[in-house]
Structure formats: C-alpha cells, structure tokens
Amino acid sequence: MKRYFAEFFGTFWLVFGGCGSAVFAAGVPDIGIGLLGVALAFGLTVLTMAYAVGHISGGHFNPAVSFGLFAGGRFSAKELLPYIISQVLGAIAAAAILYSILNGADAFSREGAGAFATNFYDMPGYHGRSYSLFAAFLAEFVLTAFFLIVILGATDKYANGKFAGIAIGLALTLIHLISIPITNTSVNPARSTSQALFVGGQALSQLWLFWVAPILGAIVGGIIYKYLLQKDSQEA
C-alpha cells in the first residue's frame, strides 16, 4: 500500500504544481511565469517527488510511464492497474483542489483551448495555431517515447542513479518547452484526465488521444531501450 500512496501523492504533486502554475501564474501581467515557468514547474514536481518517494514506488506518477517500464522489463504487469488507479486518483484530487481555489476567486472557466490547463488539438491555441489530430498524436507519441528512453537510461543499474531524478525532471521540462504550444503537453494520461473531468465538453471528448498516444509512445520507448540500447552484463 505504501507504493500506491507514493504514486498517489507523487501524481497529486505533479498536477497541483504543474497545472497549478499554468492556471495561477502563467498569464499574470508583469510577473507571470509564462511557458518557460510552467515547463520548469512540471519538471520540478517530478524531480522533487522522485527523490521524496521514488525509492518507495519507483516514482512513475504517470500511467504511460508504468506501461513503458513494463515494456522495458522493469515493472510487473500485475502492478499496472493498482498503479494507474493510484495515479489517476491523485491527479483528480489535485485538480479538485485547484478547482476549489479558482472558485474562491470566481475565476474558473471552461472556455477556450487549454482552459484549466486541459490538453487539446484542432483548436486555435497559442499564436493562433491549430494543430491537427495527427500532429498532436505524433508529438505526444514521440515525446513520450523519448521520455521513457531517458527514464530507463537514467535509472539503469549501470548508470549513476544519484542523478536520475535530475535527468528525468529536466527531460520533462524540455518536453513541455516543445509541446505546450502544440497540445498544452500531456505525455501523462492521469494529468490529462484530471483537468478534462472538470472542464468537460471538448476537453473530455478529446481525452482519448491523451491516453492512447502517450501509452503507445511509452511502450515503443520501453522496447527501444530494452532491445536496442540496454547493455547486458557482459557488455558492461
């Protein structure tokens, strides 16, 4: 149970810190943190929780990561469902608190692309650009695949594991710097679900992509690392 609680709180922190920074601080006039600040916030949530509870649960905080680690031979199939449930519940709990805080200022809105830090495609977003379903799928797929390659490489038994949390956190920051303008960055089905549940409408109808693309990308990334990159004991 401690592993599941670690995943719950780790995913809670990711959503509360990452989506919270987007909701409360990104667009504040003069002192807003902007895209760079939100990207860094997401990376910092994973970095801090990787060191806080990573030794308890492995620090997935993301259903796609759990699938990718399974594909890479680092995680048991029987643990997939309990981990995913813990992650999704943690994300929803964080979104509920963000929603309550926003309501305290009568500031919650369901309008527009990226409302309440939701993910989207085929909607005019930043710079007025509207990325197609295919473009969004491709971005989420590729970025999650590389995220898993970084995770598996940084946590390999032959790597310097003391710095794994830093590498993984910075990788997530880079992912957000690339893809916030495209999809508002998912690479994490739990994070997408929690926000979409409160916004509903188009955010909820598009949610399928932010489950399918990250999970498929993570599985491919796990397979690539396991069969093309991972050293065996003789090579090491």
Number of domains in the chain: 1
> Does the residue 13 lie in any domain?
yes
CA-closest candidate to residue 185, choices 5, 12, 14: 14
What amino acid is encoded at 180 in this protein? Answer: I
> Does the residue 30 lie in any domain?
yes
Helix H or strand E segment including 6: helix 2-14
Averaged pLDDT for residues 207-231:
97
The pLDDT tens digits for 23-56 are 999 988 888 899 999 999 999 999 999 999 999 9
Average pLDDT of the chain, as a whole number: 95
> Does the residue 220 lie in any domain?
yes
Please state whether the predicted TM-score (pTM) of the whole model is above 0.85: yes
Averaged pLDDT for residues 101-116:
91
Q: Give the domain extent around 66.
A: 2-229
Give residue 148's pLDDT: 98
Give residue 235's pLDDT: 60
> Does the residue 15 lie in any domain?
yes
39 in Cβ contact with 182 (< 8 Å): no
Cα distance between residue 138 and residue 78, in whole Å: 29
Residue 38 to residues 14, 46, 87, 129: CA-CA distances in angstroms?
A: 11, 13, 21, 20
Cα distance between residue 105 and residue 103, in whole Å: 5
> Does the residue 11 lie in any domain?
yes
Q: Which structure tokens are listed for 160?
A: 């310097």
Give residue 112's pLDDT: 87
The pLDDT tens digits for 60-105 are 999 999 999 999 999 999 999 999 999 999 999 999 999 999 999 9
> Does the residue 234 lie in any domain?
no
Averaged pLDDT for residues 142-161:
95
> Does the residue 191 lie in any domain?
yes
Per-residue pLDDT band for 212 (boundaries 50, 70, 90) equals very high
Specify the CATH number for the domain of residue 19. 1.20.1080.10
> Does the residue 235 lie in any domain?
no
Q: In this structure, what DSSP letter does residue 127 have?
A: G
The pLDDT tens digits for 174-187 are 999 999 999 999 99
What amino acid is encoded at 104 in this protein? Answer: G
226 in Cβ contact with 151 (< 8 Å): no
> Would you call 6 exposed, middle or buried from its count of C-beta atoms within 10 A (0-12, 13-18, 19+)?
buried
Per-residue pLDDT band for 161 (boundaries 50, 70, 90) equals confident
